[in-house]
Structure 1
Amino acid sequence: MPPMSPLPSSSPSVESVAAVLRAAGCVFAEDEARLILAQARTPEELAVLVDRRANGLPLELVLGWAEFRGLRITVEPGVFVPRRRTEFLVEQALDRAPEASVVVDLCCGSGAVGAALATALDGVELHAADIDPAAVRCARRNVAGVGGHVHAGDLFAALPAGLRGRVDILAANVPYVPSGEVGLLPAEARDHEPLVALDGGTDGLDVLRRVAAEAPDWLAPRGCLLVETSRAQAPAAVAAFTAAGLTTRLAVSEEWYAHVVIGAS
C-alpha cells in the first residue's frame, strides 16, 4: 500500500512528516515524527519508516525499540510491546524487595521488566522465560547487558530447578485479556502482537491462576509475586493469590491506570 501522503522532495521537517502521520490518524503525530526522523539514517529509510507507520505498524515496531523505565528495549515483529503502565509493576517490586538478589521475569516477552529490575538492582541474578520463540530471541538481546539468562518453555517448566525457594522477585506480566474480548483490542495490538501474549482464557485469569498456584514453591522466604491485571479482574486475581496461600494486596496507580496484585510468601 502506498503512503497516505508523499513526503516533500526537499529535506523533510518535523512538520512535513507529522502531516503525513496526522493524515494517517496518528494522535501524537509531532512526537512520532521527531522519533522517526532521529531513527532514519537516509532519506530513503525515512520514507520507508514513515510509510510503515502511516499504514498502521505500531510506532515501536517502526523504530525497533520501545522506551521502558528509561531503557531502550529492542522489539521486533511478533513480540509483545512493553506498556508504560507496566513500569508501575517494576516500581512496586523495587519498593517491596529493594535488596533482592534473585529475580525472575515470567511471561517475559521482550524482557523489559527483567531488564529494568536488573538495571535498578545492579548485580542481581536474573532469569526470564517465555513460551514464544520470538520473545525468547528478543529478550536475550535485551537482558544480555545485565547478565540475564532467558529460558524457553511454559511458565515454571522453563526455569532451572535450582531456583526453587530462591526467588526474591517473581514478576509475571501474564496475558489477561478474556478470549472473547481479544477482537475488541486496538488494531495495533490485535494485528501485530502474538495471541499467546494477549489471550488469558475465558475470564482472562487462566495463566494468572497457574502462576499463583505454583509461585509459593519458587519464592524465597521473603519473596514476592507481582502480576498486572485489570480493574474489573482485580478481585478475582486477589482471590487466586489468597487461595494459593500468599499474603496478598492490590496496588493501584490511577495515573497509569495500572493494577498490580502482590503476593508474599
Structure 2
Amino acid sequence: MWLTLSVLFFATLLAGLAQPWISKKFKPDFREILNFAGGYLFALTVVHQIPELFHFDAGHDHSLMDETLLGGLILMGFFVQVILEKLSGGIEHGHFHASGGHGHQDKLSPWVLLIGLGIHSILEGAMLGHGALSGHELSHGHYHGNNLLLGIMLHKLPAAFALTALLNHGKTMKNRTIVILLLFAAASPVGALMAHALGDASWVEDEHLRWISALVTGSFLHISSTIFFENTGKAHKSWKGFGAMLLGSLIAVSTEFFPF
C-alpha cells in the first residue's frame, strides 16, 4: 500500500512541478490525453467499480434497501461532484484557461480551489484504502489496486498540471503554488490512510467504507462524462477524440480479464 501511495503522491507532484517546462518546450494539447483518461475512467467505473459495489459476500444478509441505498449514494456522488466543481472550476478533469483567459477559475481563490480538489481527492483516496482493506488485491490478482490507481492518476496528473498553470498564470513557479501543489498531491494518500485507520476501528464496518466508494463512483461518472462532452469539438476532430475514448475504454475492460 505504501508503494501505491508513494507513486500517486510523487507522480502528482512531478506533473505539477513540470508544468512550466512542459508548457514552454512542447505547448501540448491535452484533449486527446483527457479523452483517453475519460474513456478509461468511465469503463473502469462501469465494468469494475459498480459491479464490485453490488457484490455482497455470501454470508452478508442484504436486502433491496441495501442496493437502493448504494444506488442513491452513487447518484449523490454525481451531484456532490457538480458542487465541488463549482469550487474547483473543473480542474479535476483538466479544465482550465490559459494565461490571459477569463474563465471561471480566474475568479476563484487558490485556497477555495484546493478545498474543492482536496475533498474529491480525499474521497477517491479512501476508495484506494478501502480496496486494500477488503482484500480484493488477493482475490483478483492486483487488479483492483493497480487499475484503480491508474484510473485516479489519469485524471489527477492533468489536474495537477492545470492547477499549476492556473496558479502561475504562465509565470515562474511561486512558493504559494508549491505549497498548494504539495497539499493537493498529499490529499489522496491521506484519504487512503484515513480509510485504512477507520477500517481498523471497531465501530467502523466495511459497509461504511462501501458507502464512500459509492460516492466516489458517482463522482467518477460525472468526471468521465464531462471529459467526453468538453473535449469533443468539431466533426473532423470528434473521430480522433472518439478513438482515444474507445482505446481507453478497451484497455480498462481488458485489464478485467488480464489483470496487471
Could you state the TM-score of these two structures normalised by the residue count of structure 2?
Answer: 0.27
| Greater share of helix | 2
Where relative contact order (Cα < 8 A, 6+ residues apart) is larger, the structure is 2
Could you state the TM-score of these two structures normalised by the residue count of structure 1?
Answer: 0.26
